[in-house]
Amino acid sequence: MGKINLKMYIVSDCDSVEVMYASQHYTKTPEEAMAKSMLAGLDLNCDHFTGQHAMGAVKAGLVKETDVNTAISNNFATLMRLGFFNGDPKKQPYGNLGPQDVCTADNQELAREAARQGIVLLKNSNGSLPFSPSVIKTLAVIGPNANVTDTMIGNYHGVPCKYTTPLQGLVETVSATYQLGCPNVACTEADIDSATSLAASADAVVLVMGTDLSIEREDHDRVDLLLPGKQQQLVTEVAKVAKGPVVLVIMSGGGLDITFAKNDQKIASIMWVGFPGQAGGLAIADIIFGRYNPSGNLPMTWYPQSYVENLPMSNMNMRSDNSTGYPGRTYRFYSGETVYAFGDGISYTHFNHHLIKAPRLVFLGLDKSHPCRTSKCQSVDAIGPYCGKVVEVQLRVKNAGNREGSHTVFLFMTPPAVHRSPVKHLLAFEKVRLGKKEKTVVRFTVDVCKDLSVVDETGKRKIALGEHVLHVGNLKYSLNEIIMEVLDLFDNWFLDCPILKAVQPDGEAVLEAKDLASHVDGIVLKD
């Protein structure tokens, strides 16, 4: 706590200390689990376990009373800062807040806005969306999640003020007819005839499919990545006969293999809405009818079904292994095919990126005694005088379309292929809102030791020497490797070493040192 100047308290997840003893068998007794946790810095255990076993740990000499006092002090100090001991709560700034302050118009609008911002548009063939109410006058709304309430709030939630289901949200704009299609998300039986009959008569179709807590929740993992039961068959058959555009809305907590829908030309648009909360139906309708321009991005990679069929879930390795065919995990290391990738998401407008400023070279400034001065190195330790050095990346972002929209600018970096480094990793992101044809400048600060480093095979953080590639959308930019023909280096080497030359990997001298100083932001030093 002292190292990070934490002036609050450390609390466990519920059951976690008991799990150390009863499930993980990390300790032989409950008292040992309590002691090890407290001595590691735990101040409060969310459960009954502390009350049952902390005194036993003290009596057994596993912790001292002073250790208990420290934990209590951290807890009470936080309560004091929160004003728990300042007298009558009703006389404090927030003492009169009650249920009437929860379901205000502003708070309900906030729920709607949060849902809108979280929705991810993944496919929109030929600009099918947004729909115009003057063109799409009859809507077929089909699917097991089309008129749900509890499903929308997912796991770990409060009590909603009210629900607006997808069907209810859509009906507020146009005339809509509803068919369940599946009695539930498990969908062991599907009423395909009724669903296809409805789809064939409507101007457009919205299919609301996906999962619920019977499929995915804490302590209940999915066994595959496919739409449950006969949902895929229902979607495909409805799309075949639909006379108008088909929108597939996926309501789920995690990714699904919907490759069939991605490749189906009859399915014009695909949206992932997560579990969108109490106002999810309003937010879905806002996007489908163009009252809101979608700006969400996927927070996880969507893998194909083959990923779980060929991959043992007990393998927790992040990095891929070509010798065994193991593809790795997460966008940082996964080397296989994806259904959709981390960060994917499209808009009703289009954004362009143009690089304004970025260093081509980065100078570390190694000491004369550094071993990499005399021998070849793949990397150097991410410690030293060069830590704290930052470089700036500037981008011009333009809304090239004809409507206002928000856009998240992701700055990724691919490091040199050393130490089994990531395929790429996210350095920073910023969300901007731009009117049609409007542009702005986005600035990112890249920390050399934090952002240009990787973790080696022993767990040490290293700055990889070589080419680092920055990615923003389809734009790529290299922080190129440069090789130095070193005679001697010291603090003012540019001034005192005029014959020093920068040399490209093919050996061609490009600039003398004094000239080089005026052309670059820095240099990566490598033998």
3 state DSSP class of 348: coil
List C-alpha distances in Å: 103 to 2, 111, 159, 160, 161.
Answer: 41, 10, 10, 8, 6
CA 178 from centroid of its chain's CA atoms: 34
- Which among 163, 258, 141 has a CA at the least distance from the CA of 211? 258
3 state DSSP class of 479: strand
Cα(395)–Cα(445) distance, rounded to whole angstroms? 12
- Which among 221, 191, 226, 227 has a CA at the least distance from the CA of 208? 227
List C-alpha distances in Å: 327 to 205, 316, 321, 413, 419.
Answer: 37, 12, 6, 20, 17
348: left (phi over 0), alpha (psi -120 to 50) or beta: alpha
187: left (phi over 0), alpha (psi -120 to 50) or beta: left
Helices (H) and strands (E) in the chain, counts: 15, 19
DSSP summary character for residue 148 = -
Cα(430)–Cα(38) distance, rounded to whole angstroms? 39
φ, ψ dihedrals at 15, nearest 5°: 75, -5
Residue type, 259: T
Cα(356)–Cα(472) distance, rounded to whole angstroms? 13
Contact 233, 189 (CB under 8 A): no
Cα(348)–Cα(342) distance, rounded to whole angstroms? 20
270, β-bridge pairs = 123, 248
Positions marked catalytic: 13
Cα(490)–Cα(496) distance, rounded to whole angstroms? 9
